[in-house]
Amino acid sequence: MFMQQSKWIILIIIIACQLIVVLDSSIMVTALPQIGRSLHMTATSLTWVQNAYILPFGGFLLLGARAGDLMGRRRMLSVGIGLFSLASMLAGLAPTAEFLLVSRAFQGFAAALATPAALALLSASFVEAKERAKAIAMYSAVAGGGGSVGLLLGGFFTDFISWRVGMFINVPIGIALLYLVQRFIQQTGTRTGRFDLWGAIVSVIGMTALVYGFVQAADRGWGEPETWISLAAGIVLLVAFVFIESRAAEPIVPLRLFANRQRSGAYLGRFLLVCGTFSLFFFIPQYLQNVLAFSSLEAGLAFLPFTVAQFGMMYLIPGLVQRYGNRKVLIAGLLLCIMGTLWLSRIVSVQAQFFPQMFILLAIIGIGAGMAIQPLTVLGLSDVDPQDNGAASGLINVAHHSGSSLGLAVLITVFEAAIGSDQSSKMQFAHAVSDSVLGSVVFATLALVAAWFCFVPSRQPARKQTLTDS
């Protein structure tokens, strides 16, 4: 009985750790207008408040996963939580925009150390199929819906205290988690090996260059040399990353993980889905505040339908998967996301009313995302050899957070192209948000295509075919 209780305490610790790192990808969104005024940041530079956190988070996840394999997952979880708490305090104290962005990057690096260790500990703690499915459902609900909770908390702190509280609150939570980790999680084994530091550095710089290129395109135009040089450098570096991984003795991304079509499809599908859904968290709150005159808190509360729907699916997904299989549930969820987001793009305007249409559509999108995230998590971990658990867990999170940063970078160019020079016009702002949301539909549709072609039954051994439909 004690062992059973201990496992669920471990799950609570893992979920709490995942929640604070996911919250911090969105907790600043509803505070962006206030941050811009207090630290003298332009609209385009404010995107780096998000990307300064997300890029190192996604880029160093694989190195964090490797560090957990070599140095012990409990140790890396503790180190990550400790550094995350310190970085959060520094971000809350930031006197300048530059200091804030560096602190946010430090936060992202710390989160990259903690997150893969947490997911690998979940996989190791819940081995029995039904328990594991329930645990992954809860984890997936937090991973997918935690961003909207961040919007709500960020709005509350911004309206009633200060945006800085959204950073300070991580400190006592981090201290409590450090105690619980030491109390309830046993130290995992270590093994000898080498860090693929070059691979990690090249991947981070490559992804940052790619995102920077898109942001420069939004800010200065596609014709500027800086835009094309940055985009070309990003592509070259990411190709170099694949070459490095193919030659490394102990790569952070074992390329054999992509030999399984289901896993490859899960990584690609998650990347594309998050490209679309995360961008909603950036554009819709800005629309609600700048066009419909919502307060920061009201803009955060507006995402409750999404949050409640996605968390609610946590209880239904295991039964749906057991009855229909991961692939059918995934495709149904993606279809709901596409339909809800497409309809949302059509009603965004100066005359729009939040209730009931936007309310209902955000709930539909939340249901769809909730149906899609858990199957993508399960399929991303399917048939993974024990020595690759950390790398596979890291890749799931890399796909998630790389999608967040690249999707936002791409769609900010759509927004800037649509809004033109008259950025004070509410009508133009609404039109630009509508176009950006339509871009989210494109990403969700591409995720559906990836799911359709990568998860169709293939001529594989019977055991792997069963995993496809289970």
* pLDDT value at 458 more than 70: no
Which of 247, 266, 284 lies at the terminal end of a domain, its last residue? 247
- Domain with 78, as residue range(s), is 2-196+248-469
Is the domain of 172 the same as that of 240? no
| CA dist 195 → 62, 66, 69, 201 (Å) | 10, 7, 10, 11
The answer to whether the CB of 214 falls within 8 A of the CB of 231 is yes
Instruction: Name the CA radius of gyration of the chain, rounded.
Output: 21
Q: 315-325 pLDDT, tens per residue?
A: 788 889 889 98
CA distance 326 to 372: 9
Mean pLDDT across 39-66: 81
Q: 24-34 pLDDT, tens per residue?
A: 878 888 888 88
Q: 166-211 pLDDT, tens per residue?
A: 999 999 999 999 999 998 888 776 676 677 888 888 988 998 899 8
Closest among 194, 191, 205, 139 to 380, alpha carbons compared: 139
pLDDT at 233: 95
Closest among 101, 434, 114, 88 to 279, alpha carbons compared: 434
Average pLDDT of the chain? 86
pLDDT at 386: 75
* pLDDT value at 85 more than 50: yes
What residue has token string 């990568």? 454
Is the domain of 214 the same as that of 323? no
pLDDT at 5: 56
What residue has token string 């967040």? 404
User: Which residues are within 8 A (CB) of 56 and not within 5 positions of it... i.e. 6 or more apart?
Assistant: 105, 108, 109, 112, 204
Range of lowest pLDDT (13-22, 120-129, 404-413, 434-443):
120-129
128-135, Cβ contacts within 8 angstroms, sequence gap of 24 or more: 130/318, 131/7, 133/318, 133/321, 133/322, 133/378, 134/318, 135/11
Mean pLDDT across 373-397: 80
Q: Structurally, how many domains does the chain consist of?
A: 2
Q: 230-260 pLDDT, tens per residue?
A: 999 999 999 999 999 998 888 888 899 898 8
| CA dist 255 → 58, 273, 378 (Å) | 18, 22, 19
Q: How many other C-beta atoms lie within 10 A of the C-beta of residue 356?
A: 8
Range of lowest pLDDT (204-208, 254-258, 379-383, 462-466):
462-466
* pLDDT value at 84 more than 90: yes
Is the domain of 144 the same as that of 228? no
Is the domain of 205 the same as that of 299? no
Please report, for the domain that includes residue 435, its CATH number.
Answer: 1.20.1250.20
* pLDDT value at 436 more than 70: yes
Peptide bond preceding 356: is omega within 30 degrees of 0, i.e. cis? Answer: yes
Percent of the chain residues past pLDDT 90, beyond the cut: 39
User: Which residues are within 8 A (CB) of 415 and not within 5 positions of it... i.e. 6 or more apart?
Assistant: 218, 283, 432, 433, 435, 436
Is the domain of 327 the same as that of 445? yes
Is the domain of 252 the same as that of 356? yes
Is the domain of 192 the same as that of 207? no
pLDDT at 141: 74
Is the domain of 226 the same as that of 373? no
> Crossing angle of helices 326-347/359-380, nearest 10°?
150
Is the domain of 87 the same as that of 145? yes
For residue 145, what pLDDT band results from cuts at 50, 70 and 90?
low
Q: 315-359 pLDDT, tens per residue?
A: 788 889 889 988 899 999 999 999 999 999 999 999 998 999 999
Is the domain of 42 the same as that of 189? yes
Which of 212, 247, 282 lies at the terminal end of a domain, its last residue? 247
pLDDT at 390: 67
For residue 363, what pLDDT band results from cuts at 50, 70 and 90?
very high
Is the domain of 19 the same as that of 30? yes
pLDDT at 120: 80
Is the domain of 228 the same as that of 328? no
Number of H helices, E strands in the chain: 18, 0
For residue 132, what pLDDT band results from cuts at 50, 70 and 90?
confident
